[in-house]
Amino acid sequence: MTTRILLLAATIMMMVILSLLPCSGQDAVPSLEKKSVLGGKVEILIPSTFTVMEEDMLKLKYPMQNRPALVYTNEAGSINVAFSLTTSKAEEKDVPEIKETFVKVFKSMYKSAEWLGDGLVTINGKSVGFMELITPAVDTRIYNRIFFAECDGRILLCTFNCKESQVTEWAPVGKKIMDSLVTK
């Protein structure tokens, strides 16, 4: 189990590092709308103006083979909500251990990160682990809300990220997105 968690943590780290190549643009916060994603296995709120990231941009931002299965993004590509349903088997009871391992790995790999928090919450009856941190990028700092839960016997990884300059407006949106998570 620990090896799988470490591999998942490495995948998340790559998603965080590579997802925010320099992009421009400030966005006003739009309303949120419910979306069914990952073949109907997940329902979640997404900003109404966000669209599915085009394949060419997805490959540019996530060049590794373990790229997210789905990314919703704003027009500028600077605010993202990414989803991956991993192949790693998991049960809901594993979420606390997964969270502890992710936090440990992230703290050792991102020594310069500013940790805003981590924890376990119950959302729509399911245990959800999360981490909230600000990481350095090429020309800015990136706010990340990473959350995960068991879904269909596997680990669902979700990331919400934006530039630090957008955190006042967008961090509460990231929390609302996480708080709307429904897995089937």
Residues forming a β-bridge with 84: 157
Rounded-to-integer distance, Cα 116 and Cα 76, Å: 26
Query: 73 has which bridge partners?
Result: 51, 80
| pLDDT tens-place string over residues 118-170 | 999 999 999 999 999 999 988 899 999 999 999 999 999 999 999 999 999 99
Q: Which CATH superfamily is domain 2-21+32-183 in?
A: Mog1/PsbP, alpha/beta/alpha sandwich (3.40.1000.10)
* CA–CA separation, 158 and 145 (whole Å): 8
Summarised one tens digit per residue, pLDDT across range 14-70 is 455 444 443 444 456 789 999 999 999 999 999 999 999 998 888 888 877 788 999
Beta-carbon neighbour count of residue 71 at 10 Å?
24
> Cα–Cα distance between 87 and 43 in angstroms, integer?
19
Q: Please give the model's pTM, rounded to 2 decimal places.
A: 0.84
Amino acid identity for residue 150 in this structure: E
Q: What is the mean pLDDT of the chain?
A: 87
**Per-domain residue ranges of the chain:** 2-21+32-183
Q: Please, how many CA atoms are within 13 Å of residue 43, restricted to the half-sphere of its CB?
A: 7
pLDDT band, very low/low/confident/very high, at 11 (cuts 50, 70, 90): low
